[in-house]
Amino acid sequence: MTKYLSFAAAGLLTVAIVGTSMAQEAKNPAVKARQSLMSLYAFNIGQLGAMAKGEAEYNAEAAAAAASNLATLTQVDQSAMWPAGTDNAADPSSRALPAIWQNFPDVSAKGQALAEAAVAMQAAAGQDLDALKAAMGPLGGACSACHKAYRAPKE
C-alpha cells in the first residue's frame, strides 16, 4: 500500500514538473521571438548595470557598445511578434496580458518611451560612469511602466 502510494506520489510529482516546464517553455514562434528580444534587452542592460553597481569596472567603449545594441534592439519592428491569440490566457508560456491587444496605441507609446530612454542611455553610457548611472533610472522606469500595465505577475 505504501509502495502504491509513493508510486502515485511520484506520478503526481512528474505531472507537476512536466506541467511547470510546459508553462515556461514557449512553443509559438512569435512568443519565443518576443521573449528572446526581452532576453537581449536584459543582456545588454546587464552590461551597463554591472558597471553602475560597481561589479564591473567602467569601460566607456563597452558601455557605449551595450547601449548602442540596446538602442538598436528597441527599433526592431515587433508587429509580427504579437499575433492575436498569444496572450497569457491563450498561451500559458506567455505573461502578456490581453489588455495589450485592447490598447495598442498605449503599448506603442510605452515602447516609444523605452526607445527614447535607450537613446538617452546611448548618449550617456560612453560619457562617464555618473552619466551612465543617472540614465539607468529612466531606462528601468520605461521597462517597468509597460510591465506594470501589461504583464501578468510571476506565478
Residues in the site for another protein, rule: CB under 8 A?
Answer: 41-43, 45-46, 49, 52-55, 136-137, 139-141, 143-145, 147-148, 151, 153-155
* Residue 2 labeled ligand binder: no
Least Cα distance to 83 among 32, 37, 25 occurs for: 32
Least Å distance, CB 73 to another protein, is: 13
Output 3 or 63, the one with its CB closest to another protein. 63
CA dist 148 and 128 (Å) reads 31
Whole-angstrom distance, CA of residue 60 vs CA of residue 48: 10
Q: Which three cell numbers stand for residue 125?
A: 553610457
Write down the least CB distance from residue 6 to another protein, Å: 28
Q: Annotation-wise, does 147 bind a ligand?
A: yes
CB of 10 to another protein, least distance (A): 26
Is 146 annotated in some ligand binding site?
yes
Whether the CB-CB separation of 124 and 134 falls below 8 Å is answered with yes
Nearer to another protein, 3 or 148 (CB): 148
Type of residue at 37 = L
- DSSP-assigned letter for residue 58: -
34 residue type, one letter: R
Cβ-contact 35, 83 below 8 angstroms: no
Please say which residue, 60 or 146, places its beta carbon nearer to another protein: 146
The nearer residue to another protein, 11 or 54, going by C-beta atoms, is 54
Q: Which residues are annotated as a binding site for heme c?
A: 143, 146-147
